[in-house]
Amino acid sequence: MEIKIIHIRPYEKAIFPGIAFEVEITHTKYKEMIIGVDGWLETDDRKIISTINEDLLEGSSLISELGARGSSFDSWFKEEIYKTTVVAPLDKKALNYIEERRMKDKKGDVKLFLNLTAKVLENRASVSHLHEVNPKNIGLEPVRVPLSSGRVEEAEIIVYAHDPGFSPARTNRWVLSGYGSPIFLAARKYLLRTEKTIPSSDWISDFAPKLELGEYFVVEIPKGKLIKDAWDYVEKAEECFRRWDTKGLYANCREIGSLLDGVIKKKFGKDSFIYRERWGRTYGRFENFASLDLHLEDIKKSQQYIREDIKIRKADAEHILIVTKTLIKFAEELSQES
């Protein structure tokens, strides 16, 4: 028995946010009957963030049947797919945790583990190959049986003989056994586990708005190769962001600014219009913001603001990363001008 995720999407049929998984579970037709699926959802660090249940609104109306083995109908016992949709409701705490884990991923992807318990009825019935035979055909004396009407008729006797294509002439002779015991059915639970990665782009554009995570402002910045050292610093800054090392993040961004300033000054000269006005005004604003983390302790000592407000938040860190990347791109384009 195996599970496969066919599609994953935000769940929009309830007032609470959630994720719906359209899944397929393989099982053996007539031998196994899936009567229900539930489970739990985990993050990539194996923390449980939600329970899972089937969406009854999208449930299949297919009728499942169980059958005994040991007859010409054994060819019917083939692999079949049980299709269902399971839903994982997510509260605010779970969504926040997913976001925290996503920020620690280099690509910003969401990695989830789907754990499902399939409740299954397993059929253990087998058909006994009992045939009606005329006694004379096997060298026995005829058997005469008196009937209630007073007549006497020759009867056939029951014998056992295995026949791969067995199908009795009379439907009331499907004699069953439970594989050598009186147990015909077994109730089982199968634990099925699979992993699903939601790319950062899909999470931001398709999931986040519908999961009430707000809207994301996405900027695509082609990574240039003209100022390689600057992009190397970006990788270090992003690593600091994932570890929530804000001082390291801001320090790397300041190093990038200083590096770019030197490149543009060397290219055009400190008295040029490009360096003083076009670059200088942009870099001046960047340098001022990029030094915020450096001056936090001095700002606290001034007692000008509420102390609890004086700290770097996620919005600040994201902003400095975006602005730093656009600054590199701007510097690369300026450096190509004659």
Q: What pLDDT sits at residue 231?
A: 87
Q: Going residue by residue through the chain (338 aa), what tens digit of pLDDT does each one get? A: 899 999 999 998 888 899 999 999 999 998 999 998 999 999 999 999 999 999 877 655 567 788 888 888 888 899 999 999 999 999 989 998 998 888 888 788 999 999 999 999 998 888 888 888 888 888 888 888 888 888 888 888 888 888 888 888 777 777 777 777 788 888 999 999 999 999 988 888 888 888 877 555 555 555 555 688 898 898 899 888 878 888 999 999 999 999 999 999 999 999 999 999 999 999 999 998 898 888 888 888 888 888 888 888 888 888 999 999 999 989 988 988 87
CB 316 within 8 A of CB 249: no
Q: Which residues contact 159 (CB under 8 A, 6 or more apart)?
A: 130, 131, 133, 138
Q: What pLDDT sits at residue 262?
A: 93
Copy the structure tokens of residue 19.
């994720």
Q: What pLDDT sits at residue 58?
A: 65
Q: What pLDDT sits at residue 62?
A: 62
C-alpha dihedral sign at 254, 260, 263, 266: negative
Architecture of the domain made up of 2-124+180-207: Sandwich (2.60)
* Cα–Cα distance for residue pair 125/122, rounded to 1 Å: 9
Picking from 177, 43, 143, the residue whose alpha carbon sits closest to that of residue 103 is: 43
Q: What pLDDT sits at residue 115?
A: 96
Q: What pLDDT sits at residue 222?
A: 56
Q: Where are the domains of the chain?
A: 2-124+180-207, 129-174, 228-335
pTM of the predicted protein model: 0.59
3 dihedral zone (left: phi>0; alpha: psi -120 to 50; beta): beta
